[in-house]
Amino acid sequence: MAKIYLKNINKSYDNKAVLKNINIVINEGQLTVLLGPSGSGKTTMLHGIAGMVDFEEGDIFFGDQLMNHVSIDKRNAVLVDQNLLLFPHMTVESNIAFGLKMRRVNKSVIKEKVNELIRLLELEGHEKKFPNELSGGQMQRVAIARALAIEPEVLLLDEPFSKLDIMLRKNMQEFVRALQQKLNITLIMVTHDQEEALSMADQVALLLDGEIKQYTTPNEIYEKPVSKEVADFFGVRNYFEGKISGGEFHSHLGRFSTNLPNCEKITFMFRPEQIGFGEKQKDSIEGIVKRRVYSGDKVVYTIDVRDFHIHVSSFIYKEFNIGDKVYLQANFDKAVYFI
């Protein structure tokens, strides 16, 4: 196993920069997610690691070894593409055995290895089936088994679950995460789905327009985004703008005590779940319930405060109706802020 180090990577297509000065160390034995919207450069980065694309500037290391000119088949990094590309005329067994046969591995060793992977990927009973006789999730597991057969140092998955329906996607997410932890493989996964990234990853790298904007744990990137554009990517948030003077934050919502020093311009960020409902008291924000969206595990309210809207989420037992007067509590001492 090896950590992967991308150093000062640049890549462009048709004079358009697609990857801009990428610097990242990917930990061995962890699941690292490259997250970003479509077109942000995720696949290009993954293909560069696999050796399918040449970066025009910068270095790529597996451990201490410089890999820039090492060909795909010598990199020991296997990519499972979005389109899976199983061999349609081969059974599940033969698909999994393919890489080992190409490497002229001894037949009995192949048989043992294939059986082990069939068990590991829970494909028992499907050994003799052809790809068109399998469900989406089963095909996915065969593709992963085939990739794992040659015992790669690094497994690369490009949007692996994007074509699966929601239930199957959740199952496969859990399955792949558990498998990665059990085998302790270095896994790099590309996705545009923030929920998938947060729930599966050890580390998330957010890629926007070819740049890594933040690279850290799921908790940290969601709760402590380094910029508004990172905060924006993770969905609904509230921004409160104003200034701080004499231990008070002055904003369009009123004045709030804070322990931050004086500052001419500051923006606080609150996720909907970081604002609570409470009683009328000092520092509470009075508003009227404007909208109420039920989503099973929670309700998201839109609260009108004069001509501003604040989004607040709450567990079901807090029931408010449209038009109710409510008092909101926000802790400005704990909140993320941007200056």
Of 18 and 31, the one with the shorter C-beta distance to ligand ADP is 18
Q: Residue 288 has what DSSP assignment? A: E
* 41 or 287: CB nearest Mg ion: 41
Min dist. Cβ of residue 41 to Mg ion (A):
9
Q: Is 191 in the site for ligand ADP (CB under 6 A)?
A: no
Read off the DSSP letter of residue 82: T
How far apart (Å, rounded) are the C-alpha atoms in residues 316 and 335?
Answer: 24
User: Least separation, in Å, of the C-beta of 12 and ligand ADP?
Assistant: 9
For ligand ADP, which is the closer residue by CB, 44 or 302?
A: 44
| Count of residues that bind ligand ADP according to CB under 6 A | 11
Helix (H) and strand (E) counts in the chain: 9, 20
The reply on whether position 13 binds ligand ADP by CB under 6 A is: yes
The verdict on 40 binding ligand ADP (CB under 6 A) reads: yes
- Kindly state whether residue 48 participates in binding ligand ADP, applying the rule CB under 6 A: no
Choose from ligand ADP, Mg ion, none: what does 40 bind? Cβ within 5-8 Å by kind. ligand ADP
In a 3-state reduction of DSSP, which class is residue 159?
Answer: coil
Amino acid at 316: I
Cβ neighbours for 180, distance < 8 A, ≥ 6 positions apart? 31, 155, 187
Binding partner at 36 among ligand ADP, Mg ion, none, C-beta below 5 to 8 Å by kind: ligand ADP
Sole binder of ligand ADP in the list 9, 26, 32, 44 (CB under 6 A): 44
| Paired strand residues for 188 | 32, 156
The answer to the question of residue 71 lying near ligand ADP (CB under 6 A) is no
Verify binding: residue 213, ligand ADP, rule CB under 6 A.
no
Binds ligand ADP by CB under 6 A, chosen from 43, 95, 173, 203: 43
> Is residue 43 at the binding interface for Mg ion, with CB under 5 A as the rule?
yes
Q: What contacts 280, CB < 8 A, 6 or more positions away? A: 286, 327
Strands 31-35 and 203-208: parallel
CB 261 within 8 A of CB 221: no
Q: Which two tokens stand for residue 126?
A: 């499907």
**Shortest gap between Cβ of 47 and ligand ADP (angstroms)?**
8
DSSP alpha helix (H) spans, the chain: 42-50, 72-75, 92-102, 107-120, 136-149, 166-183, 194-200, 218-223, 228-233
- The contact set with ligand ADP (CB under 6 A) reads 13-14, 18, 36, 38-44
- The contact set with Mg ion (CB under 5 A) reads 43
